[in-house]
Chain A
Amino acid sequence: EAAVTQSPRSKVAVTGGKVTLSCHQTNNHDYMYWYRQDTGHGLRLIHYSYVADSTEKGDIPDGYKASRPSQENFSLILELASLSQTAVYFCASSDGTGANYAEQFFGPGTRLTVL
């Protein structure tokens, strides 16, 4: 079964601190994505990657970096966390090929609170 895991599941960070959110997938998918979701809103794309060692900017990349060291792992880095980055962060993966090429499989999310 397709699996996307995220760690940590919850984190409290201080303003100005560095935060790293990790994502691991066992789907053998080429594409991976980071989204943020604010309370009562949809998901907005931060960064994505379609191959290891390469990342692309999404709609709201400011204040975030991404790293894709391998096909299975995709990290989101907040170098200087700010209050406005308090949100739930979701990682997803997709195959990009085959009949179900477009379906994205989501992780359980990481709730980040910046104080």
Chain B
Amino acid sequence: SQLAEENSWALSVHEGESVTVNCSYKTSITALQWYRQKSGKGPAQLILIRSNEREKRNGRLRATLDTSSQSSSLSITATRCEDTAVYFCATMSNYNVLYFGSGTKLTVEP
């Protein structure tokens, strides 16, 4: 079941620019997570934002959550080439089961 979905299949920016990846989800949640997957690697968590939080930061990353519209965003400022990756949002269920979206492929060009 596709309970979470990113709104863009691919984005491209130049180094130093900011970018935002958007996500919508279909069920009530206790938390939403953002993961990044670099080529040939497994996903790695970036941010977990709980349903009672509106914003969460982690260095150059900022996640927002709007439970009324069932949407979330992940913003990256001052992008670097190494930010090139696929970004996933994921909703949580019992036993920490995650439901991933299809992902947004971000390319940061020099």
Contact = CB atoms under 8 A, between A and B. Distances in A.
Given A31-B95, A45-B98, A96-B96, A106 B42 contact: yes
Interface in B88-110: 88, 92, 95-103
A45 B97 CA distance: 8
Interface residues of A, number: 28
Interface in A45-76: 45, 48, 50, 56, 58-59
B92 A48 contact: no
Nearest to A92: B42
A56 B98 contact: no
A42 B102 contact: yes
A56 B95 contact: yes
A25 interface: no
Contacts of A101: 96
A35 B98 CA distance: 10
A90 B48 contact: no
B95 A104 contact: no
Interface in B39-98: 40-45, 48, 88, 92, 95-98
Contacts, number: 59
Given A42-B101, A102-B48, A90 B42 contact: yes
Interface in A81-115: 90, 92, 94, 96, 100-104, 106-109
B85 to A, nearest CB: 13
Contact of A104 (B1, B41, B96, B101): B96
B42 A108 contact: yes
B33 interface: yes
A-B pairs with the 5 shortest C-beta distances?
A106-B42, A42-B100, A42-B102, A43-B100, A103-B45
20 contacts: A31-B96, A33-B97, A33-B98, A41-B103, A43-B98, A48-B95, A48-B97, A50-B95, A59-B1, A59-B99, A90-B42, A101-B96, A102-B48, A102-B92, A103-B45, A104-B45, A104-B98, A106-B42, A106-B43, A109-B41
Interface of A: 4, 31, 33, 35, 40-45, 48, 50, 56, 58-59, 90, 92, 94, 96, 100-104, 106-109
